[in-house]
Amino acid sequence: MVAITGEARGAILAHAREAWPAECCGLLLGREDRIERAIPARNLAESSATRFLLDPADHIRARRSARDAGELVLGFYHSHPDSAPVPSPTDVDEASYPEAIHVIAGAGPSGRLSEIRAFRIVGGRVRAVALGGG
């Protein structure tokens, strides 16, 4: 299980709604198995409604911010503007960093962007990770 603070959860959903109908993306910072902060990044993908490409400059900036705060980059988040928060074939293909937690914000049963789920993607295999309160 991985814990996530209410603040980080709220920040991911707010970013996802703001970016709609495009996908948003960002980094997850924290300690051990606890996501404490979600740092937004630019999505550089041209077809940003269906994929994301995290701006490398934002990636570096977030890594620096984590180091300065004594935190770790635990993983990444992105959104599925109109579909369920489960990894797409593209997400699986493009997942690097096997130790990373991948958080996806997506549409819940109501169709609204209201749900977040976490996964690990290692060697093309997806494993769901339980998200607890933090």
Is 91 an interacting residue with respect to Zn ion (CB under 5 A)?
Answer: yes
Query: Is the separation of the CB atoms in 26 and 38 below 8 Å?
Result: yes
Is 92 an interacting residue with respect to Zn ion (CB under 5 A)?
Answer: no
- Catalytic-labelled residue, pool 23, 32, 46, 115: 23
Is 126 an interacting residue with respect to Zn ion (CB under 5 A)?
Answer: no
Is 88 an interacting residue with respect to Zn ion (CB under 5 A)?
Answer: yes
Is 36 an interacting residue with respect to Zn ion (CB under 5 A)?
Answer: no
The smaller minimum CB distance to Zn ion, of residues 9 and 78, is found at: 78
Number of chain positions touching Zn ion (CB under 5 A): 2
DSSP the chain: -EEE-HHHHHHHHHHHHHHTTSPPEEEEEEETTEEEEEEEE-B--SSTTT---B-HHHHHHHHHHHHHTT-EEEEEEEE-TTS-SS--HHHHHH---TT-EEEEEEE-TTSSEEEEEEEEEETTEEEEE-EEE-
Query: What minimum distance in Å lies between the beta carbon of 39 and Zn ion?
Result: 18
Q: Is 18 a catalytic residue?
A: no
Is 114 an interacting residue with respect to Zn ion (CB under 5 A)?
Answer: no
What are the residue numbers of the active site? 23
In the complex, which residues of this chain contact Zn ion (CB under 5 A)? 88, 91
